[in-house]
Chains A and B, each alone.
Chain A
């Protein structure tokens, strides 16, 4: 079986390498991607004129190929949904006991099911069943870094028109900041910042913003995803409407990606129980 596996892998690899020789050379002026009759020439020359967006990549991603990005966002959202449906466990198994730590004395309390739970405060802290004392250096460093990550993420989203970046990257950075809180403290600290319900709602809202903007263009009497139509609604020039349409869409993408990243992390790290995690 192992030999068969190796044979398959080697054959597929050989086939791929063999096909590489058919590729045009790097920087070949006559290759389809670089030829004069092709789309890339048009994009490079007309992107700024059409959308007033200096970063051609963003113009292509969110405007010329808006459909592609819309379904990409939908794919990410369905990935989050798939993780939720496969992993999430709502039924509690076995005897349920919680552990609390009395901070001043360092005593750990186990409270079995039906027992009176102490109020969550600075005195009584709920802890995981496998508890390791928090490392203050790790915890405080992560807490200090998080606001900077979030501000940078917002910059990446808002500045995607001019520099590399955009909705996807900014959204992942925002999600990573919340995951960092969950990793450096515990899963409950992350869930306090963004609940599961919040993540699900924000994920759907992001996809809705994208698809809604596209549908709005359709309702205003233009093609699906043709942001020119927004000019009538916002009383601005069509070119500026395109520019703003791209921004709205990027914000939708960022919302969806952030929420889905956090949601997948919650389900993966706690095996769907959302109780104790990494």
Chain B
């Protein structure tokens, strides 16, 4: 019973993060929200017992891909050039 509550709460925050990442105007904020989304998914995998998947999600999803997103965002400008 307790475990189900962890699932429900984490899933709710995951959905909030996903909607936030779409709606937020600032691209840097959106990439950080995606990182938070990945990390919460990692917690969900770990709760479900898929520790290998959780590990991959933590390293690839929350770690490196957030860095890639931030690196890409740094090459954008506030307004389009054309």
- What are the residues of chain B within 8 A of A70 when measuring CB–CB? none
A interface vs B, CB < 8 Å? 55, 57-58, 61, 156, 164-166, 168-169, 172-173, 175-176, 179, 183, 261, 264-265, 268-269, 271, 277-278
Residues of B within 8 A of A (CB): 51-52, 54-56, 59-60, 63-64, 67-68, 70-72, 74-75
Q: Which residues of A contact B67 (CB under 8 A)?
A: 176, 179, 183, 265
A264-B68, A265-B71, A271-B75 known; A172 and B60 CB under 8 Å?
yes
Distance of A60 from chain B, by nearest CB (Å): 10
Q: Given the known A-B contacts A172-B60, A183-B67, A261-B64, are A165 and B75 also in contact in the complex, defined by CB atoms under 8 Å? A: no
Question: A173 touches which one: B51, B59, B75 (CB < 8 A)?
Answer: B59
Give chain B nearest CB distance to A97 CB in angstroms: 21
B71 touches A172 (CB 8 A): no
- Chain A residue, CB-CB nearest to B72: A268
Residues of B contacting A173 with CB < 8 Å?
Answer: 59
Q: How many A-B residue pairs have CB under 8 A?
A: 48
The 5 closest A-B pairs by CB, nearest first: A269-B71, A164-B51, A172-B59, A268-B71, A57-B52
Q: Are B63 and A172 in contact (CB under 8 A)?
A: yes
The majority secondary structure among interface residues of chain A is helix
Report which of B55, B70, B71, B74 forms a contact with A165, defined as CB distance below 8 A: B55
Nearest Cβ on chain A to B7's Cβ, whole angstroms:
10
Q: Provide 5 A-B residue pairs closer than 8 Å at the C-beta atoms, listed in order of the A residue.
A: A57-B52, A165-B55, A176-B59, A176-B64, A269-B74
B75 to chain A, nearest CB (A): 5
Contact partners of B70 in chain A: CB under 8 A: 278
Residue of B nearest to A180 (CB): B67
* Pair B64/A172 contact, Cβ less than 8 Å: yes
| Complex: A271 Cα to B74 Cα, angstroms | 10
Given contact pairs A173-B59, A176-B59, A179-B64, A164 touches B52 in the complex (Cβ within 8 A)? yes
Best-surrounded residue of B56, B59, B60, B75 (most CB of chain A within 10 A): B59
A168 to B55, CA, bound (A): 10
Residue in A168, A268, A277 whose CB lies within 8 Å of B56: A168
Q: Across the interface, which residues of A come within 8 angstroms of B59, CB to CB?
A: 168-169, 172-173, 176
